[in-house]
């Protein structure tokens, strides 16, 4: 169990700090192409939706029963909705910023996006942590999906900060800080939940995590993918993500 906890925390740290990859992309090429963004966001959504319904929710049903599992699932969705409603955040291209926008305004934009992403990353960190506790290989799959969608989030933070300050160091730092909250969320989950962790508690946690991931996919990733993607690249990415995840689960179970 202790080794699983360490692995879960490391996976969460890796997924969260993928925001720095987005930051580096933003500093190197300023803006990836819309086809790339649409496909990768759709891919991440496909992975999350499939693993939520096929693995997490199903495992929860087997552990705590159909009604309880679905209760936990919808509780997870509602929890994410409340977070998103109270502290929304956007990808950088979802709202155009005027060309003449001042450096101060751009800096404020970057800091607010970093704050929003940081808070959103708390439940994502818990999702990776819970998945890895159930099965390290499942945790790896969830971490990869979350890492993929954290890349454009890092871009969303670094782009306005860099435009405002001209400092690559500050842009990278704010992006890094927004991703750190993900392993912090996992660490808090470990501290709070581990003393009480039973098969029943894990079943509820997996159901809630499934709800959170589906909510992220529907409310955040799919609209963002459509806003970036050209024509059918988002759905192609979603299908590819589901196929890759399905094959991965089949191989792991085989």
pLDDT-above-90 percentage for the chain: 12
For the question of whether the overall pTM of this predicted structure is more than 0.75, the answer is: no
In this predicted structure, the answer to whether residue 99 has a pLDDT above a threshold of 50 is no
pLDDT at 210 exceeding the cut of 80:
yes
Number of domains in the chain: 1
**Which whole-number Å values give the CA distances from 88 to 93, 119, 143, 151, 234, in the listed order?**
15, 9, 22, 18, 22
d(CA 154, CA 178): 8
Helix, strand, coil in percent for the chain, rounding step 5: 85, 0, 15
pLDDT at 103: 60
Average pLDDT, rounded, for the chain: 78
Residue appearing with tokens 């090429």: 29
Q: Tens of pLDDT along 32-79?
A: 567 877 887 788 788 889 888 988 899 899 989 999 999 999 999 998
User: In whole angstroms, what is the distance from residue 73 CA to residue 241 CA?
Assistant: 22
* Cα distance between residue 50 and residue 61, in whole Å: 16
CA–CA separation, 184 vs 172, rounded Å? Answer: 19
Sign of CA dihedral 134, 212, 152, 158: negative
Question: What's the pLDDT score for residue 101?
Answer: 46
More confident residue, 194 or 146: 146
Distances (CA, A) of 7 to 3, 55, 178, 189: 6, 19, 21, 14
Residues 90 and 156: beta-carbon distance below 8 Å: yes
Residue by residue, DSSP assigns 7-61 as HHHHHHHHHHTTHHHHHHHHHHHSS--HHHHHHHHHHHHHHHHHHIIIIIHHHHH
Which pLDDT value is given to residue 113?
A: 62
Which domain, by its residues, includes 133? Answer: 2-253
pLDDT digits (tens, 9 = 90+) for 86-95: 876 555 444 4
* Contact assessment for residue 16 and residue 181, using Cβ atoms and an 8 Å cutoff: yes
How far apart, in Å, are the Cα atoms of 59 and each of 83, 195, 209, 231?
Answer: 26, 21, 12, 36
What confidence tens digit (pLDDT) does each residue in 215-236 have? 888 887 788 788 765 678 899 9
Q: What is the pLDDT of residue 40?
A: 75
């Amino acid at each position: 169990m202790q080794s699983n906890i360490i692995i879960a925390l490391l996976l969460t740290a890796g997924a969260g700090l993928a925001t720095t990859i987005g930051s580096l992309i933003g500093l190197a090429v300023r803006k990836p192409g819309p086809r790339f963004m649409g496909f990768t966001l759709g891919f991440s959504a496909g992975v999350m939706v499939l693993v939520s319904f096929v693995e997490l929710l199903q495992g929860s049903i087997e552990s705590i029963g159909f009604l309880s599992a679905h209760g936990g699932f919808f509780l997870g969705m509602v929890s994410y909705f409340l977070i998103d409603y109270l502290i929304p955040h956007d990808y950088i291209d979802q709202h155009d910023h005027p060309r003449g926008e001042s450096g101060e305004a751009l800096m404020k934009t970057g800091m607010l996006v970093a704050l929003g992403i940081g808070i959103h990353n708390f439940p994502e960190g818990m999702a990776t942590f819970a998945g890895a506790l159930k099965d390290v290989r499942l945790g790896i799959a969830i971490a990869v999906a979350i890492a993929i969608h954290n890349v454009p989030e890092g871009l969303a933070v670094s782009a306005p900060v860099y435009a405002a300050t001209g400092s690559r160091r500050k842009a990278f730092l704010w992006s890094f800080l927004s991703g750190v909250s993900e392993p912090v969320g996992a660490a808090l989950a470990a501290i709070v939940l581990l003393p009480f962790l039973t098969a029943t508690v894990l079943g509820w946690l997996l159901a809630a995590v499934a709800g959170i991931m589906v909510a992220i996919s529907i409310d955040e990733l799919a609209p963002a993918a459509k806003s970036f993607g050209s024509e059918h690249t988002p759905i192609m990415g979603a299908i590819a993500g589901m196929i890759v995840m399905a094959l991965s689960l089949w191989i792991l179970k085989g």
